[in-house]
Amino acid sequence: NAGVTQTPKFQVLKTGQSMTLQCAQDMNHNSMYWYRQDPGMGLRLIYYSASEGTTDKGEVPNGYNVSRLNKREFSLRLESAAPSQTSVYFCASSEQSVSYNEQFFGPGTRLTVL
């Protein structure tokens, strides 16, 4: 089992460009999450999907959109990248969207917006 996979691993964008970060999990989990991690800020939730067919905003959703393509895949889209979106992005999954379920994280995507 690969667990949670993310592509790409690294990306450099120019301001205004768009891109989609891909995430897939092979653990048959219902819930998936997108976080960003900035120095000194910890992990902040961007969007999550409690189950296939549903998505909800997290703490910092502005400038992002998500798609829960199927039970396995959850993508994050930046429509018009800004330097403030330079960050490390992590996708995670859990069996259910409950706080006693551990979350499994992918390896991250390091995004730089110039």
Partner 1 sequence: SQKIEQNSEALNIQEGKTATLTCNYTNYSPAYLQWYRQDPGRGPVFLLLIRENEKEKRKERLKVTFDTTLKQSLFHITASQPADSATYLCALDDNQGGKLIFGQGTELSVKP
The identity of residue 22, as a single letter, is: Q
Coil vs helix vs strand at 84: helix
Q: Does residue 108 interact with partner 1 by CB under 8 A? A: yes
Give the rounded distance of the alpha carbon of 91 from its chain centre.
4
- Identify the residue among 64, 104, 111, 114 touching partner 1 (CB under 8 A): 104
What is d(CA 53, CA 99) in angstroms, rounded to the nearest whole number?
A: 20
- Identify the residue among 29, 90, 93, 113 touching partner 1 (CB under 8 A): 90
Q: Which residues of this protein are in contact with partner 1, per CB under 8 A?
A: 4, 31, 33, 35, 40-45, 48, 50, 58, 90, 92, 96-108
